[in-house]
Amino acid sequence: MAKADGRGRVVAAATDGACSGNPGPGGWGALIRFEDGSVEEFGGADPATTNNRMELQAALEMLERLAELPRHPDLVLRTDSKYLIDGLSSWMPGWKRKGWKTAAGKPVLNQDLWQALDQARLADVPLRYVKGHSGDPDNDRVDQIAVAYSKGTAPRLKRGSQSTPVKAVDPTADDPTSANAPAPAALQQLLTRLELADRLAEGGFALSTVELAQLVEQPLTRLAERQDSWRWRDWLVEPTDGDRWRLRRAEAGSRQSRNPDG
């Protein structure tokens, strides 16, 4: 295990792949969150590929990166690719017994990437399925990165406190007064998180401390110190049994202490 730096351990990871044409030009995206709240994003492109290959490439790049970093014991790799999850968890043992052949006796597609993933997999980092385009902030973000690369543009990537230069995907993006100009990416991501918070509150779903840190974008160490209810934007965050939290819409005029970062 690599030594921890000032960022602490990795608490969240997500990957996605995209392809224009399938086969066609493709891209992949990956995102890592650390205990101190910092984010590291990376991705890449392939001029002639498939969506499945990009999903596998994203996971491979992520696992190789995670192998170099200290990891929180609750860390999971979030992906919307059932192909990736089923391949690693269910299909691969049979492929290997049959000499990398399918049940029909045909060569396994994308064998090179599957074999690399078999070597790179980390026993302490299970895969978890998340439905694509469902409002999951990290899944939406890696999708944006992958799509941008598949279209030949260079997305703005977070690397701790640094960012790489960005190419405008839309010619109106450099003109904030244009009627067609999209909302700034930061506001789009915030809206996604707020919509997700509303659904979590309405459904009464419980979050682990790691998951809550992703939602409110605060260091895990700060949340671990909290014992009582506290306010984040328009929601009360309340502790439940087993180191878990629930969100509840705050009533107007609530006197609960407000999160200074929210």
Q: Taking the CA of residue 13 as centre, how many other CA atoms within 13 Å lie in the half-sphere pointing to its CB? A: 28
72 belongs to the catalytic site: no
- Classify 149 as helix, strand or coil: helix
Spatial separation of the C-alpha atoms in residues 259 and 235, rounded to whole Å: 10
Per annotation, catalytic residue among 40, 46, 55, 211: 55
Per annotation, catalytic residue among 6, 68, 133, 242: 133
Contacts (Cβ under 8 Å, ≥6 apart) of 75 = 9, 10, 11, 12, 13, 66, 124, 125, 210
Whether 60 contacts 29, CB under 8 Å: no
- Classify 144 as helix, strand or coil: helix
- Nearest by Cα to 28 from 141, 123, 112: 141
55 belongs to the catalytic site: yes
118 belongs to the catalytic site: no
16 belongs to the catalytic site: yes
202 belongs to the catalytic site: no
- Nearest by Cα to 56 from 115, 2, 125, 11: 115
Per annotation, catalytic residue among 16, 40, 41, 211: 16
143 belongs to the catalytic site: yes
Spatial separation of the C-alpha atoms in residues 150 and 169, rounded to whole Å: 12
Whether 50 contacts 150, CB under 8 Å: no
Per annotation, catalytic residue among 40, 41, 80, 140: 80
- Nearest by Cα to 88 from 48, 60, 51, 54: 60
Per annotation, catalytic residue among 40, 46, 140, 143: 143
Spatial separation of the C-alpha atoms in residues 14 and 128, rounded to whole Å: 9
Residues involved in catalysis: 16-17, 55, 80, 133, 143
